[in-house]
Amino acid sequence: MKILLCGGAGFIGSHFATIRLLQHNDSIVVLDKLTYAGRRQNLAHLEGHPSFAFVHGAIESPKDVQRALSAPARAGEPPFDAIVNFAAETHVDRSIAAAHDFIQTNLLGTNVLLEAAIQHRLRYVQVSTDEVYGSIEEGTFTELSPLAPSSPYAASKAGADLLVLSCCHTHGLHGSICRGSNNYGPRQYPEKLIPLIILNALHNDPLPVYGDGRQVRNWIHVTDFASAVGIVLEEGAPGEVYNAGGPDECANIDVVERIVALTSASPDSIEHIADRPGHDRRYSLSSEKVRALGWRPRVRFNQGLADTVAWYRDNVSWWEPIRSGEYRAYYERQYDKPLRSGPAHSTQ
């Protein structure tokens, strides 16, 4: 397949690019705006591959999308088969502080991609989230559960999902949606819980836990979610939604305590701080439908978390520029305290 991969320089998109290019021999053109969360370095291991190209541009710009769809202009190259859209503003706390960019990218950007997919008759996969369903105290969400998003981020993703489904219904688009639970693993921007806690633990910084920390997330390793999106691309039916949840649920405080143990940080560094406004208590997905297409999650949370801690410990050159750049200003605004800048303490 030849795929226009939007948002491929981010966390999950970069894993999807790796799996599709190296394991499935797909041809990949990444279109990415390189926001604070997107980095060419996330794709460095693919640069120079004959079936890989990168285009710097925004999904909300029809000109950028058309430019990406005509790249790379090599004679005899096959046309595109599919658009897979990972591009999004993704952090709930940032959407609570200011929602504009979320509407622009997640809604208007998705609309531009849908118009291109319809015009060029391309397969379309929208990458979405369990957060569109809101919170569930008991049981699991299926694809038929009602949409009840809590945050501006979740609302923008739910709106995008509805746009996709409307284009399938009205324009005959061959579009599918894959909704994932909370991802973790290498290359996740440290604003998210797991990398934030790992890096703070390695620096002896306080470990911020919102409220009582008893909120539960359904953790999925990033390679498992990337492979679920690939199966939906290959096998998904038009107008259908597929949930892909991880094999394990864990309360936030338990996640933090496990990271404390893995890094030998002090348990006294755990700090309960003011809760997130509108904080969803629990997410849980039923993945029966995508399992019926042959998908299985392979990584259990215990092992995946230990490997993730090891990856951040071993890849200082990946996170050091982030921790001293935009992220530092964001952190100090969000948590109202400075980030320690000293060297990470060494743990075995």
Catalytic residue (one of 133, 153, 184, 330):
153
Based on the shown chain and the rule CB under 6 A, indicate whether residue 319 belongs to the binding site for ligand NAD. Answer: no
Report the SS3 class of residue 127. Answer: strand
Q: How far is CA 322 from the centre of its chain?
A: 17
Residue 217 CA to residue 99 CA, distance in Å, equals 23
Among 203, 217, 221, 323, binds ligand TYD (CB under 6 A): 217
**193 sits near ligand TYD (criterion: CB under 6 A):** yes
Give the integer Cα–Cα distance in Å for 177 and 160. 10
Short-list 94, 194, 217, 84, CA closest to 153: 94
> Out of 26, 89, 130, 248, which one is annotated catalytic?
130
Q: Indicate whether 83 belongs to the interface with ligand NAD (CB under 6 A).
A: no
Cα separation of the two ends of the chain: 43
**Region binding ligand TYD by CB under 6 A among candidate stretches 44-52, 97-105, 168-176, 207-215:** 207-215
**Does 187 contact ligand TYD by CB under 6 A?**
no
* Binder of ligand TYD out of 61, 118, 210, 257 (CB under 6 A): 210
- Judging by DSSP bridges, how do beta strands 216-221 and 248-251 pair with one another? antiparallel
Amino acid identity of residue 274, one-letter, is A
Report if residue 192 touches ligand TYD, rule: CB under 6 A: yes
Pick from 249, 247, 246, 240: nearest CA to 144? 240
Let me know if 32 is a catalytic residue.
Answer: no
Residue 27 or 106 with smaller CB distance to ligand TYD? 106
DSSP track, 51-109: TEEEEE--TT-HHHHHHHHT-S--TTPPPP-EEEE------HHHHHH--HHHIIIIIII
3-state helix/strand/coil string of 293-317: CCCCCCCCHHHHHHHHHHHHHHCHH
* Active-site residue (options: 32, 60, 64, 131): 131
Picked from ligand TYD, ligand NAD, none, the partner binding residue 208 (CB below 5 to 8 A depending on kind) is ligand TYD
The one of ligand TYD, ligand NAD, none whose footprint includes residue 92, by CB under 5 to 8 A per kind, is: ligand TYD
Q: 271-310 mask for ligand TYD (x: CB under 6 A)? A: -----x----------------------------------
**Is 131 an active-site residue?**
yes
- The three-class DSSP label of residue 259 is helix
Nearest Cα neighbor of 219 from 249, 262, 255 is: 249
- We find the least distance from the C-beta atom of residue 13 to ligand NAD, in angstroms, to be 5
Residue 165 contacts which entry, ligand NAD, ligand TYD, none (Cβ below 5-8 A, type-dependent): none
For the question of residue 130 being annotated catalytic, the response is yes
Among 10, 183, 177, CA closest to 89:
10
CA distance linking residue 27 with residue 186, whole number of Å: 23
38 counts as binding ligand NAD under rule CB under 6 A: yes
Among 32, 161, 224, 248, binds ligand NAD (CB under 6 A): 32
Active site residues: 130-131, 153
Which residues of this protein are in contact with ligand NAD, per CB under 6 A? Answer: 6-7, 9-13, 32-35, 37-38, 58-60, 86-90, 105, 109, 127, 129, 157, 180, 182-183, 189
Which residues of this protein are in contact with ligand TYD, per CB under 6 A? Answer: 92, 182, 192-193, 196, 208-210, 215, 217, 252, 276
